[in-house]
Amino acid sequence: MNPKVEKALNEQIHAEFFSFYLYLSVSAYFTAIHLEGFAHWMRIQAQEESGHAMKLFDFLNERGGTVKLLPIDAPTREWASPSAAVETVLNHERAISERINKLVDLATSENDHATTVMLHWYVSEQVEEEATADTLFHQVKMVESNPHGLLMIDRELAARPAPVAATQGE
Ligand SMILES: [Fe+2]
Ligand SMILES: [Fe+2]
């Protein structure tokens, strides 16, 4: 496998596992402030992120690349408000989208078509991730001064189903 692409894919596995860590940390924050629906939603999203990492892990193995797992930094643990926590998630997803776009650029310039095609799934996934985080951020911002509104969103978020094994990461 092309060593530049292999290195970049390993770095993306790392970034997805950091996302897993970040969402878990946000989930713990929401549990601590008794917004269990938010906590549940973030925990499910963490599961999805480990799915994103594993999809790349499997791809590297399939292509004869070497998986090199990197150390994961501790994520932020505390936020000033629910909207601040969701804003962290939104900014993080924007940064992940930029990483994915750069990965596509690299795979394309290295003529690694298999990687380019595989990455298209991530390009679409990031459209969804950014849109979801953006909506949630704006809705939380809207109701933040009104506990009633916050509890309504909390109840909605509590209904998010767990990803099914076969479609994990989607
Ligand atoms: Fe992801
Ligand atoms: Fe998703």
CATH number at residue 26: 1.20.1260.10
Structure tokens at 147: 């506990």
Q: What percent of the chain has pLDDT over 70?
A: 96
pLDDT tens, the chain, 170 aa long? 999 999 999 999 999 999 999 999 999 999 999 999 999 999 999 999 999 999 999 999 999 999 999 999 999 999 999 999 999 999 999 999 999 999 999 999 999 999 999 999 999 999 999 999 999 999 999 999 999 999 999 999 999 998 876 445 55
* C-alpha to C-alpha distances, 31 to 56, 61, 143, nearest whole angstrom: 30, 37, 19
Q: Following DSSP, what letter does each residue of 94-134 receive, concatenated? A: HHHHHHHHHHHHHHHHTT-HHHHHHHHHHHHHHHHHHHHHH
Q: 147: CA distance to ligand 1 center in Å? A: 30
163 phi and psi, to 5 degrees?
-65, 140
Residues that place a CB less than 5 A from ion ligand 1: 16, 19, 49, 52
CB-facing half-sphere around the CA of 43: CA atoms within 13 A: 17
pTM for the full predicted model? 0.94
Ligand nearest to the CA of 100: 1
The candidate with the shortest Cα–Cα distance to 92, out of 42, 28, 39, 23, is: 23
CA distance linking residue 143 with residue 145, whole number of Å = 6
Q: 141: CA distance to ligand 2 center in Å? A: 22
Domain count, the chain: 1
Q: 146: CA distance to ligand 1 center in Å? A: 31
Q: Is 82 exposed, middle or buried (0-12, 13-18, 19+ CB in 10 A)?
A: buried
| Domain of residue 80, residue span | 3-167
